[in-house]
Structure 1
C-alpha cells in the first residue's frame, strides 16, 4: 500500500474514533511515524485530508452496501438487517459525533458526502422495495419513492443526539428499533413472519 493510501486509512480510523475536528495533523503524523512536512507533501492541508477520507469512507461503505443488496442469497428484509450490521461495523458503531463535527467544521465536505449517500441510498432502498414487492413480502399499494425517501429521512433523524441521546437510546438497539418500525409499515403477512423471526433473534 502506498504512503498516501496508508495516510488515508490511518487518518480515517482516527477521525471516526475521535472526530474530524479533534484529531490534528501532528497526531496523524506521529501515528504514521513521519514528519508533518512529509504528511503535507501528500495532503496540502487538513481540509483536503478530511475531504479525501470522507469521500473514501463514503465510497467504501456504499460499495459494501451494494454488494449486500445485490446478493440474492437473502430476502430484502434480511438485506436491511445485514446492511445495518455492516454499516455499524465499518463506522465503528456509527458514533454520530464525528459526523456532527464534519457538518459543523467542514460543511462543504459534509454536503458532498450527504448528497452522495442520499443518491445512493435512495436508489438502494428503491430497489429493495421493488424486490420485496416481487417476492410478495411488501404491500403492493405502497409508493416506492416515498418509502425510499422516508427510510433515508428516518436514518438521518435518529442520528440527532439531541433527540436520541446515547444514554437513553444505545445506537445498535436504536437502529434495530428503527428498522422494525420501518418494515412493519410495509410488510405483508408473509413478510411479517420473516420480520418476527429476525426481531426475536435480535432480542435473544
Structure 2
C-alpha cells in the first residue's frame, strides 16, 4: 500500500474511533511512526487529510451499494446485503464524527451531503421502484417521500441526542432499515423478508 493510502487508512481509523476534532496531525504521525514532515508531503493540512479520508470512505460505501444492487436477486435481498455492509463499515464508528465534519471541516461535510442528496437518494429510489415492479413492495408507495424519509433515517444514528446514552449504532441502523422494509413490503415481499431473515440468522 502506498504511503498516502496508509496515512489515510490510519487517519480514518482514528477519526472513526474518536471523531476528527480530537485527533491532531501529531497523533497521526505518532501512531504511524512517521514524521509530520512526511504527513505534510502528502496532505496540505489536517483539513485536506480529513477531506480525502472521508471521500475515500464514502466512495467505498457507494461502490458496495452498487455491487449489492448488481449481485442481488431482488430488491429485498439488496437491502439485506446493505444491512451486512452497514455492520462491516459502521461497526464501532463514533457518531460524533458527522457533527465534527459539520463544525470543523465544511469541505468534507459537503462531500457527505452530495452523497446523501444525490447518490444515496438515487440508490434508495431505484430500490423502491425495483421492489414495486417485482410485486415485492406495495404499489401505492410514494417513492419521492419515502426516499427522502429513508435518506434522513440513515443519518439519524449520527445524532447523539436522538439516542442518548450508550447504544450500538450498527444495531440502530439495522433496526431502522428492517422496519422501513416491513413498511414498504407487500404480502409477497413480507414472506421473502422472513426467508432472508432466517438465512441471515443461520449464517
TM superposition score normalised by structure 1: 0.88
2:47 pairs with 1:67: no
Task: State the 1:190 CA deviation.
Answer: 0.5
Match of 2:43 in 1: 43
Counting only pairs closer than 5 Å after superposition, residues 74-89 of structure 1 correspond to structure 2 as 74-89=73-88
Gaps of 5+ in 2: none
RMSD: 2.1
Match of 1:163 in 2: 162
For the 8 Å contact 1:138–1:187, the answer to whether it is kept is yes
Task: State the 1:185 CA deviation.
Answer: 2.1
Match of 1:191 in 2: 189
For the 8 Å contact 1:88–1:94, the answer to whether it is kept is no
For the 8 Å contact 2:141–2:184, the answer to whether it is kept is yes
Give the distance between the partners of 1:170 and 1:127, measured in 2 at CA: 29
Q: Secondary structure at 2:155's aligned position in 1?
A: helix
2:32 pairs with 1:32: yes
Task: State the 1:203 CA deviation.
Answer: 7.8
Give the distance between the partners of 1:80 and 1:141, measured in 2 at CA: 20
For the 8 Å contact 2:91–2:169, the answer to whether it is kept is no
Which stretch shows the higher mean deviation, 26-35 or 177-186? 177-186
Match of 1:17 in 2: 17
Task: State the 1:137 CA deviation.
Answer: 0.3
Greater helix content: 2
Gaps of 5+ in 1: none
TM superposition score normalised by structure 2: 0.89
Q: 1:65 to 1:15 in 2, by over 3 A?
A: same
For the 8 Å contact 1:51–1:109, the answer to whether it is kept is yes
Q: 1:80 to 1:53 in 2, by over 3 A?
A: same
Match of 1:122 in 2: 121
Match of 1:7 in 2: 7
How many residues are matched? Answer: 202
For the 8 Å contact 1:21–1:105, the answer to whether it is kept is yes
Q: Secondary structure at 1:185's aligned position in 2?
A: helix
Q: 1:199 to 1:95 in 2, by over 3 A?
A: farther
Q: Secondary structure at 2:185's aligned position in 1?
A: coil
Task: State the 1:162 CA deviation.
Answer: 0.6
2:178 pairs with 1:180: yes
Give the distance between the partners of 1:93 and 1:31, measured in 2 at CA: 19
Task: State the 1:94 CA deviation.
Answer: 4.1
For the 8 Å contact 1:81–1:179, the answer to whether it is kept is no
